[in-house]
Structure 1
């Protein structure tokens, strides 16, 4: 991951080039920060729902390889989102502390 600018917040979406996107510290309480908060909440809720649906499928001995592969891909997407959120929030806690 590219180096985070001092005081910047890692956003829950990629930049135009696919790399990390950051919000400068001076925007910490503006509309982009509020949108980022909403998207993070939606991503975490989606992850919880995907996990809730995945558990019975993974326990099903009749689940097909295609179903399991699809489920694994969705879980990986949700984990990627959750790790980005954790990185963003962890950095902000470190800066506050």
Structure 2
């Protein structure tokens, strides 16, 4: 396994609201697995909330307080989802440009597109 030189953004924040990071090259450590599980739960909750939100928004009789509560829940889910996306994006390996074909345009094999 290759050691990572970057910190992993964890899917929760500290008590002061600041981001928490993990420094490890072991993606199977207890804290790494806990972070993976938490990310999966957060994304699942966001999916469930989206379904509920569509139902609430389609109901013309939804009270303003219910819409306010829904908005608060959606903001929280969006914050969590963006944190997961940021963390996962930071952990993607950066592809090296291909030397085949010359020029400034890197070439990817067809398999890269599924």
TM-score, normalised relative to structure 1: 0.86
Deviations 1:35-68 (A, max 9, x none): 0000000000000001111101111111110011
Instruction: Please give the alpha-carbon distance, in whole angstroms, between the structure 1 residues aligned to 2:73 and 2:20.
Output: 22
Structure 1 unpaired stretches of 5+: 1-5
Partner of residue 44, structure 1: 43
Shift of 1:27: 4.5
The answer to whether 1:31 aligns with 2:36 is no
Distance 2:26 2:20 in 1: 13
Matched, 1:68 2:67: yes
Runs of 4 or more, structure 1, over 6 Å off, are none
Q: Distance in 1 between matches of 2:14 and 2:27?
A: 18
RMSD, aligned α-carbons: 1.2
Q: Tell me the TM-score normalised to structure 2 length.
A: 0.74
**2:32 corresponds to 1:56:** no
Give structure 2 stretches of 5+ with no counterpart.
95-114
Query: Hey, what's the Cα distance between the residues in 2 that align with 1:47 and 1:23?
Result: 24
For the pair shown, which has the larger CA radius of gyration, 1 or 2? Answer: 2
Instruction: Say how many residue pairs are matched.
Output: 90
Higher relative contact order (CA 8 A, sep 6+): 1
